[in-house]
Amino acid sequence: MLGALLYLRLTSLKNQIVSRLKRLRQPKYLVGALVGAAYFYFIFFRRIGESSGSRGPQRAAAAHAADALPLPAVFAETLPLVAAVGALLLLGVVLFAWILPSDKPGLRFTEAETAFLFPAPVTRRTLLHFKLLSAQFSILFTSLFFTLISNRWSFLGGNALTHAVGWWVVLSTLNLHFTGAALTISHLVEGGVSPLRRRLYVLGGGALAVAATLAWIGRDLRAPDPADLADFGPFAHYLLGLLDHGVLGALLLPFKFVLGPFLAPDARAFLLSLLPALLVIAAHYLWVLRLESVSFEEASLALAEKRSATVAAVRDGKNPLTLARTKARPAPFYLADTGRPELAFLWKNLLSTASYFNVRVLAVAAAAILVGSQWFLHGPEPDARAARLIVTLGALSAAAYILLLGPHLARQDLRNDLLHADVLKTYPLRGWQLLLGQLLTPVAILTGLVWLCLLAAALALRPTGALAATLTPATRVALALGIAALTPLVCALQLLILNGATILFPAWFQSMRSPGPGSGGGGIELMGQRLIFVFGQFLVVLTALLPAALAAFVLIFATQWLIGAPAAIALATTVVLGVLGAEVGCALWWLGERFEHLDLSAELRP
């Protein structure tokens, strides 16, 4: 019976590969596959080819220059510390799985598997073998992908083969442990153990281990002295002694066995570390098999039904995140019977987002930033200076991240309502009005988040030295207000690009959002499509911002000597607002016209 199930899995894999090869006949998938393959070649495979000797003297010179750098040698001498820290991270992941487990069942069956395998004359142990072996297919592919990424980590030693096997050991162990933990928790729940008691057991055991380790440290291990903190080498030696002894060292030992093959510097060490790692995997496998009496059919059926409902909702153009909502939530704001129709779209789309995206939460967060800023504004100067630098860099990094990647995540716009385009076109509104109404919600959310980051950065920025003479308080206020004023238009510009791509290339967009097997999800071709969209967005944004940036630079350079830097910044902000406003207005009108002539029935389907 197990052979038949394995044949079923291999046949399904073959059919999936064949179906993805067949859909390359459609241009939207073929172009994406070519871009994805080119990305993998230039990022990963070309480097592998160069390392095999195809570049000759150039490769030798590059390798000699790399060997001359001190950083890899330092890390090579601290591989035991890398193993200890990695084992500590794995221990944290395992504890997290016990304290906050997933609400999904340990064994996840598809709709077809629940329909055909559960009624079949198949034992529970056979189903366990089938799911555990089926998971190896995705683990193998993931291990190969991680190997491509870690192939450049030369300071870890080993080669591509040892890294591939090492990743397989780590991922297989984690998968088995997560499965065993989920089944064990289900067994405890069936036995009457509450989630609170389970968390208390896990936290109590962890607290005992930490207390025993601290007791051992206080008795036998000396505290770090200045010599231990003088350089990286002495500090690494001290930290390794802390992690390798006592109760904590015993707890980390199995995780070090798991990381052994990946961190093996040569073939002999790899073979010696492979046996303990395989024993850990075998112990986990036997642990899962001993839990065959746990009832998992009901949870698997519920998950299959939920997944089917999610796929149906997405295909119908609904938001799958709202399926589980059963409680009514208050309106984001009062919507009058008359007024601008765009506000109705804002009201509707805000209801589909998280409840904490509202003006009240924004005001509370701003007040918390204002109050919390006092501790690094008026504290002791050396510590306060370091805190201000950290807050400034963190806030500016967060603002940049939100501006660049936020439009891809805030999708409460036409990208969610594309399948209802025929219904939207029946509204007595122009195309630009519909598009503007759809953009208001993500623009408001992203603008509010960026404003919070700017507030934190403006409060924390206190330049010293020569920079303080340039960035005076008035100049800093002008800069902060100018950036805050430009943020909505910059967000709108990026969202217009994404929604414009949705209108101009709806077939590509539908293939990228279709979930589930057989509907176009996954694959190198879809990754290539996303790369095309991201690259196109950055290119168009840079092209649109270039005229405004040049105008601002010329105005500030020419007028700051006459009217002062703050006034020059305010004047440049006004001009940039006009330029970006004109670009956004023209783009809204043009894309609105395209939306009015959009016919989804004429587009290619996935």
Q: What is the DSSP string of 219-287?
A: HH-PPP-TTTTSSHHHHHHHHHHHHSSHHHHHHHHHHHHHHTTTT-SSHHHHHHHHHHHHHHHHHHHHH
Lowest mean pLDDT among 188-197, 411-420, 528-537, 593-602: 188-197
Average pLDDT (76-82) is 67
Q: Residues 511-549: pLDDT tens digits?
A: 555 444 344 445 555 666 667 777 777 888 888 888 888
Query: Does the pLDDT of residue 255 top 80, yes or no?
Result: yes
If you average pLDDT over residues 60-88, what whole number do you get? 58
Q: What average pLDDT does the chain have?
A: 75
Above pLDDT 70, what percent of the chain? 67
pLDDT in tens, 232-254: 666 666 676 777 766 677 788 88
| For the chain, domain boundaries | 91-207+257-314, 339-602
- pLDDT score, position 517: 39
338, pLDDT greater than 60 = yes
Greater model confidence, 222 or 98: 98
- The 10s digit of each residue's pLDDT in 88-128 is 888 888 877 777 666 555 566 766 777 777 777 777 778 77
**Does 74 score more than 60 pLDDT?**
no
The sign of the CA dihedral 161, 162, 163, 169 is: positive
Contact, 132 vs 285, CB < 8 A? yes
Confidence class for position 67, pLDDT limits 50, 70, 90 = very low
Q: Which residues, including other chains, have CB under 8 Å from residue 368's CB and lie 6 or more apart?
A: none
Single pTM value for the model: 0.60
Q: Tell me: the pLDDT tens digits for 13-42?
A: 788 778 777 777 777 667 777 777 777 677
Question: Do residues 137 and 246 touch, judged by C-beta distance below 8 A?
Answer: no
| pLDDT for the residue numbered 516 | 42
Model confidence at 423: pLDDT above 90:
no
Mean pLDDT within 561-567: 83
CA distance 207 to 217: 15
Given pLDDT bands bounded at 50, 70 and 90, which one contains residue 443? very high
Residue 448 pLDDT greater than 80, yes or no:
yes
